[in-house]
C-alpha cells in the first residue's frame, strides 16, 4: 500500500479541487501503482476531514452496478462512497450549479434501512428483510477529475464521484415491490430522455445492498438503521445544463424532481 504521506497528498488534491471547483488530472495519471485499497484510504481521509468539521454520515452509495460501466472501467465488481448530510437536497429545491464541478444526473431508488446490516455472509434476501422502504431519487454525480477521465482508483478516491442527492417524500415498503421490474422514466425540461428498470443494478437493487454490507464488513463497519443507500443508476449518466429540470417517475414509488440554477459552473 502507498505510504501515508502520499495518501494525504492525493486526498488534499481532491479536497482542493472540490473546494475551488477546479477539476484536476486523474491521480492515476500522475502516480503509478495506486491500488483500490489506496483509493479507499484517500476517500476515508477526506470523509474524516468532513465529519471532523461537523458533517454527519447519512448513508452510502454503490456505483458501477451496471455491466457496461464495469466493462468500461475494466472491473468485475461495484464500488462505494459515503453520503453526508450536506449532500441531500429536498425534492424540487434548486441546486446551485456553480457549487458543482461537472455534474451529471442518474435516477435511482433510495433504500431506507430498517435495521442494522453487517457482513460477511449477507444475501439478497437478508438485505430485503433489512430494508424498511424505498424512495424515488435522483443522484447528481460529480467528478473532481477533469473531463470524467476516470479509472476505478480515481472514482473511488473521489468518494465514488458523489455530489448531491434528491429524494422524494413517499416511502414505499419493499415487500410491496418486485424491485427488478420497477420501471423508471426520466425527463429533462418536460421531454422524455431515458427509461430503465431495477434489474439494471446487478439484476436486483437489493443485491447491491447485500454486496455493500459484505464489503463494509471487510472494513469492520456496517450499514445502520435509518441509513440511506443508493444502489446504483438505472440508466446512463446525463450531463446537466444551466436551468435544467429533471423529473424521474417510478412505477409504484412516485416521482422526484431535481432543479438546477442558471448559474454557470466552472
The pLDDT value given to residue 74: 73
Residues 6+ apart with CB under 8 A from 264: 97, 98, 242
Phi, psi of 79 (to 5 degrees): -130, 180
CA distances from 98 to 18, 140, 265 (A): 12, 13, 4
- Rg of the chain (C-alpha set): 17
Q: What is the pLDDT along the chain (266 residues), one digit of tens a residue?
A: 578 999 999 999 999 999 999 999 999 998 989 999 999 999 999 999 999 999 999 999 999 887 767 776 777 789 999 999 999 999 999 999 999 999 999 999 999 999 999 999 999 999 999 999 999 999 999 999 999 999 999 999 999 999 999 999 999 999 889 999 999 999 999 999 999 999 999 999 999 999 999 999 999 999 999 999 999 999 999 999 999 999 999 999 999 999 999 976 55
Residues 6+ apart with CB under 8 A from 163: 87, 100, 103, 139, 140, 141, 142
Question: 14, 144 in Cβ contact below 8 A?
Answer: yes
The pLDDT value given to residue 226: 98
Which three three-digit cell numbers place residue 220?
469492520
Closest to 133 in 3D by CA, of 234, 228, 251: 228
Is residue 73 exposed (0-12), middle (13-18) or buried (19+ Cβ within 10 Å)? middle
Sorted by where each starts, the structural domains of the chain and their CATH numbers stand as 4-260 (3.90.850.10)
Which three three-digit cell numbers place residue 223?
450499514
Phi, psi of 43 (to 5 degrees): -55, -50
Amino acid at each position: 500500500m502507498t505510504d501515508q504521506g502520499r495518501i494525504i497528498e492525493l486526498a488534499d488534491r481532491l479536497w482542493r479541487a472540490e473546494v475551488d471547483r477546479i477539476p484536476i488530472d486523474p491521480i492515476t495519471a500522475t502516480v503509478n501503482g495506486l491500488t483500490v485499497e489506496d483509493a479507499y484510504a484517500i476517500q476515508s481521509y477526506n470523509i474524516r476531514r468532513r465529519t471532523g468539521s461537523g458533517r454527519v454520515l447519512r448513508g452510502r452509495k454503490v456505483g458501477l452496478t451496471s455491466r457496461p460501466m464495469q466493462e468500461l472501467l475494466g472491473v468485475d465488481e461495484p464500488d462505494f462512497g459515503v453520503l453526508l448530510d450536506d449532500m441531500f437536497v429536498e425534492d424540487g429545491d434548486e441546486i446551485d450549479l456553480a457549487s458543482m464541478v461537472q455534474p451529471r444526473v442518474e435516477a435511482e431508488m433510495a433504500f431506507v434501512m430498517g435495521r442494522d446490516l453487517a457482513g460477511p455472509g449477507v444475501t439478497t434476501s437478508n438485505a430485503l428483510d433489512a430494508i424498511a422502504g424505498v424512495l424515488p431519487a435522483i443522484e447528481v454525480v460529480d467528478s473532481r477529475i477533469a473531463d470524467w477521465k476516470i479509472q476505478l482508483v480515481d472514482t473511488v478516491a473521489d468518494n465514488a464521484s458523489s455530489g448531491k442527492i434528491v429524494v422524494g417524500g413517499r416511502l414505499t415498503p419493499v415487500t410491496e415491490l418486485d424491485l427488478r421490474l420497477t420501471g423508471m422514466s426520466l425527463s429533462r425540461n418536460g421531454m422524455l430522455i431515458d427509461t430503465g428498470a431495477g434489474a439494471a443494478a446487478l439484476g436486483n437493487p437489493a443485491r447491491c445492498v447485500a454486496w455493500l454490507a459484505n464489503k463494509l464488513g471487510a472494513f469492520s463497519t456496517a450499514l445502520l438503521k435509518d441509513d440511506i443507500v443508493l444502489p446504483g443508476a438505472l440508466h446512463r449518466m446525463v450531463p446537466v445544463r444551466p436551468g435544467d429540470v429533471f423529473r424521474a417517475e417510478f412505477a409504484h414509488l412516485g416521482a422526484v424532481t431535481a432543479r438546477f440554477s442558471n448559474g454557470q459552473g466552472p
